[in-house]
Amino acid sequence: MNITPLTANIGAYVDGVELSNLTDDEFEALYQAYLCYKVLFFHNQEMTPEQHMSVAKRFGLLEPVHPFFPHLDDQEQVVVIETSRGNPPSQSYWHTDLTWQKIPCRCSILHAQQCPDKGGDTIWTSMEAVWLSLTSDEQNMLKELTATHALHAFEGSRYDSVAEGGQSYVAKVSNHYPPVIHPLVVRHPETGNATVYVNEQFTRKINQLPERESENLLKKLYERARLPDFQVRFSWQVGSVAIWDNISTQHFAVTDYGDNPRRLHRVTVRGKPLESYSL
């Protein structure tokens, strides 16, 4: 097994291993690389949905069925992210998966089933690197703040529809997932490293600041997260896999391929109670 770092701050490519047939020693090496590099990439991985879930279970308990994302009929915890003719991707946002939940998710594993001939890359950024790039005064200020996260971003997207009575289906579902409050800075429960924990898709506001100040500070943090020095970009092939840490990263799907068919399977691993992430 070979692990090759891709940038100074995030990302490594792994070859010489079959995820569907990992030994304990191989998994331990991968796990340590996952903690170090935050996102691992693989090519030419043949995995059934059952094997995909088995790999994810080595990282922890699986997340429950997503409230409205499509999924496989016989494996409901395998989310299907798909573009087809006449069904182009929705607007893309930088995000960290499922921060609208009270318990943050731990990691995600994405397996490419079908890819367009060109385009469709995904970019990840290290929010640990964003934290380290701030001044000590900025860090001390952020430590005192919390942010509200909510499911609102999917309203009007291709995952939404009109529910009974003309209400948005996502809005209806959101009643069962009220907004949650997370610290603006969290400490990774395993590495101990601090990371900025906001994202433009699910973070609504900073609770201790007036609206305009909240917007300005979030904008500054989002712009910092977009700096190329903190990022790694991955081009998918059929059989490619990405495994990433959802605590210390954000990611962005590049939607430059129109309605050319693209299909990926995602399994997400449940995190720990929020107290495990406090500074």
Structural domains present in the chain: 2-272 (3.60.130.10)
Active site residues: 95, 97, 251, 266
Strand ranges, E, within the chain: 2-5, 12-15, 39-42, 79-83, 105-114, 122-126, 146-149, 180-183, 185-187, 194-196, 203-206, 231-234, 241-245, 249-253, 262-270
The pLDDT value recorded for residue 165 is 65
Tell how strand 122-126 and strand 194-196 pair up: unpaired
- Give the DSSP H/E element, type plus range, for residue 28: helix 24-37
The mean pLDDT value of the chain amounts to: 92
Alpha-carbon distance 97 to 202, whole Å? 9
Report which of 133, 117, 179 is spatially closest to residue 152, judged by C-alpha positions. 179
Q: What is the 3-state secondary structure (H, E, C) of 119-165?
A: CCCEEEEEHHHHHHCCCHHHHHHHHCCEEEECCHHHCCCCCCCECHH
Report which of 58, 50, 55, 61 is spatially closest to residue 18, judged by C-alpha positions. 55
Counting as low any pLDDT under 50, the low residues of the chain are none
Q: Write down the pTM of the prediction.
A: 0.93
- What tokens were used for 75? 């494996």
First to last CA, the chain: 35
Alpha-carbon distance 8 to 133, whole Å? 14
The pLDDT value recorded for residue 159 is 63
The pLDDT value recorded for residue 241 is 98
Calculate the dihedral angle through the C-alpha atoms of 242, 247, 248, 252, rounding to the nearest 10 degrees: 50
SS3 state of residue 107: strand
The residues with which 267 forms a beta bridge, in sequence order, are 109
The pLDDT value recorded for residue 161 is 64
Residue located via tokens 């490594």: 12
SS3 state of residue 215: helix
DSSP label at residue 102 = S
The pLDDT value recorded for residue 67 is 81
pLDDT tens digits, one per residue of 228-254: 999 999 999 999 999 999 999 999 999
Rg (CA), the chain: 18
The pLDDT value recorded for residue 153 is 60
The pLDDT value recorded for residue 163 is 62
Alpha-carbon distance 268 to 251, whole Å? 14
